[in-house]
Amino acid sequence: MFALFEEAGKFQGGRVMSEAESSAQIELDSGKRVKVKAANILLRFEKPAPAELIRSAQALSQGIELELAWEFAPDEEFGFADLARDYFSDKATLEQQAAALFRLFEAPHYFRRAGKGRFKKAPAEIVQQALAAIEKKKAVQAQIAEWAQALADGNCPAPIREQLYKILFKPDKNAPEYKAVVDAARATHLAPLDLLQKAGAIDSAYQFHWKRFLFENFPKGTGFPPLQAPAIRDALPMAAVQAFSIDDSQTTEIDDALSVQGLGTGTVVLGIHIAAPGLALQPGDAVDHVARQRLSTVYMPGYKITMLPDEVVQAYTLQAGRDCPAVSLYVTMDEATFAIQATETRLEQVPITQNLRHDQLDSVVTEDWLQAGDEAAELTAAPGLRAPLGFLWRLAKHLKAQREIVRGKPENFNRPDYNFRLVGNDGNEPQGTEQVNISVRQRGAPLDLMVAEAMILANSTWGNWLAEHGVPGIYRSQASMAPGVKVRMGTKALPHAGIGVKSYAWSTSPLRRYTDMVNQWQIIAVARHGKTAALAAPFKPKDAELFSIISGFDAAYSAYNGYQAGMERFWTLQYLQQQGITELTAAVFKDNLPGGAVLVRADELPLVLPVVGAQGLARGARVRVKLGEIDEITLDVGGTVIERLDTPAEAPPEDDAGEDEPVAGPIAIAVDMNEADAGGGGDNPNP
């Protein structure tokens, strides 16, 4: 005796070896024996063999017209054998019964399952809806096939072009556009990105990177809702100082300024003045909502996306010629030894006399100029500031040396910083076709170091001050400088080994970083309330909101820095092509890459690339490299060593701040967050 049974939605047949009241032992054609519930056995028969019955019944089932079967079927529940007798004849054969079973089972839109081998026909309206859905699915499948063929032929259909970034980076795997790309990629044996490139889906490499960044980080666009900068209601005293800022010419969010009093008296008071939006903005208000979403200004060559709208920034920026609200840190010190005697924080109005610009003054305000230079230079470069700048330069060197003692080793800045200028861009959104100029600004230049050390002093002093008053802040810490020990963010005042300070809380860029805005609110609370500040501060100890801000900021800041690095690489590759550069000199700095390649760093450009032919060379060895093909989408370029130049006996030490530049671009980018802060106050002591 044979049996046909259903198990887990599949029909199988075999020989009945033994049978009890509720189950049977059945041997399959494979020889395997299975225990089958009696309720699952649908047909018993002596011949033909199960495999033959299933094969012939499945073929016969395809000839059963579902519409006709549905008409024949009774309205009440029925069995498959009943339908076979109604559809075929009163004496339906075993094969016809099995065929009816298979056909009913595979047509749930016509017949609902009501038990093992039993069914009930669906209402007419449900059938119509199901049939419409089936036809729609067929149409979608046909559309997918048409799009896939078009892609394989080198043409990108408009619907796929419109979904380009979603398909590549946040795909809906059930979407027909995505399925068409997958099918075409399989058919052509191309990676999806290569397929879409060949099909002309990407018109502009720059726009591809830009729109991808917006898609992932600003899906609703970069515009601001209508916002008005709240007025500062405090009656702030006027500071008796003449403060000046030091930034790049493109900087509109001027967060920090400096002042020096008491030169020549033996006791000097250094003023570090920070723009004070925290005196007007409050957690949870409309402006804060926008800042909390963006978390930081995004920088890229020739353009930026600000954390706050310009009309809000301009209300609080430290603009020359204005008396500006500020949170000021005054550090009283011995003029000769720089020994700190006292610190004080004040909320006040600060007269800003000058906005100095790095790019205009770095070539003038040199160490020689600060020590001796001519008087004409003082008049044109920084009128009246030779003495204050000279003091700040000496102080910066002292503070740096003190931190190096704590760090246990000197800070090394062997590579220059590079400035990117897009000719004629004037701050408008770049199109990717602009002429790019790349210039050098050496790390550790006097103006750089003055600002960096002043901001480190402020961030570490305020970080300690918050902790002393039991007020939480957002800190950056590093347990040690051992390899692999990274900078972390938290709410506790822990040491930052990389900088060499007891604690470090970003507080000096509240117009550009949300963490600094949060810390400024906490600092203001301590300045106003002193010992009771822990009760009055907006964020209390173990506040879940602080941890949420840290998590969001970390992710956003890493993404923004990654995009900035990618775009700097894009414009560097553009520079190579615009200048017709096909060869360059470089230094080896990493080997043992997959494929035997070696990484080199260009001598005169911000470019790292893999090369072949440098195997076995020591780190620091210099070579001439012939560049290969440039891919502006993946931001890849490789090279071949065509000449080996001098090989130093000992490679120069690497910079301490930041990781090595990424080799690949935003398609496969892996950028460790650089601690630099464009404008002062980053973890990098030399921003």
Q: Are residues 75 and 150 in the same domain?
A: no
Q: Are residues 471 and 333 in the same domain?
A: yes
Q: Are residues 147 and 103 in the same domain?
A: no
The number of folded domains in the chain is 4
- 509, 677 contact by CB (below 8 A): yes
Q: Which domain holds residue 624?
A: 581-654
In a domain, 211, yes or no: no
In a domain, 237, yes or no: no
Q: Are residues 7 and 146 in the same domain?
A: no
Predicted pLDDT at 671: 27
How much of the chain is helix, strand and coil, in % rounded to 5?
35, 25, 40
Q: How far is CA 420 from CA 300, 435, 542, in A?
A: 9, 10, 42
Q: Are residues 368 and 283 in the same domain?
A: yes
Q: Are residues 472 and 600 in the same domain?
A: no
Nearest to 343 by CA among 500, 526, 513: 526
Q: Are residues 262 and 300 in the same domain?
A: yes
Q: Are residues 315 and 444 in the same domain?
A: yes
Q: Which residues of the chain have a pLDDT value below 50?
A: 649-651, 653, 655-687
- 406, 545 contact by CB (below 8 A): no
Q: Are residues 326 and 417 in the same domain?
A: yes
In a domain, 549, yes or no: yes
- 472, 546 contact by CB (below 8 A): yes
Predicted pLDDT at 410: 82
Q: Which phi-psi region, left, alpha or beta, contains residue 438 (left: φ > 0; alpha: ψ -120 to 50)?
A: beta
In a domain, 574, yes or no: no
pLDDT mean across residues, the chain: 87
CA distance 6 to 116: 8
Crossing angle between the packed helical segments 94-105 and 80-87, to the nearest 10 degrees: 110
Q: Which two tokens stand for residue 237?
A: 């005293």
In a domain, 661, yes or no: no
Element (H, E) at 2: strand 2-7
Q: Are residues 492 and 638 in the same domain?
A: no
The CATH number that applies at residue 593 is: 2.40.50.140
In a domain, 353, yes or no: yes
Query: Of 91, 122, 153, which closes a domain?
Result: 122
Handedness of CA 249, 252, 256, 262 (dihedral sign): positive
In a domain, 223, yes or no: no
pLDDT digit string, tens, across residues 206-223: 989 999 899 899 988 999
CA distance 233 to 21: 89
pLDDT digit string, tens, across residues 76-113: 999 999 999 989 998 999 999 999 999 999 888 889 88
Burial bucket for residue 599 (CB in 10 Å: 0-12, 13-18, 19+): buried
SS3 518: helix
Query: Of 122, 150, 172, which closes a domain?
Result: 122
Q: Are residues 458 and 522 in the same domain?
A: yes
Predicted pLDDT at 376: 60
Predicted pLDDT at 133: 83
Nearest to 542 by CA among 464, 495, 472, 475: 472
In a domain, 680, yes or no: no
- Looking at residue 531, the DSSP 8-state letter turns out to be G
Q: Are residues 253 and 189 in the same domain?
A: no
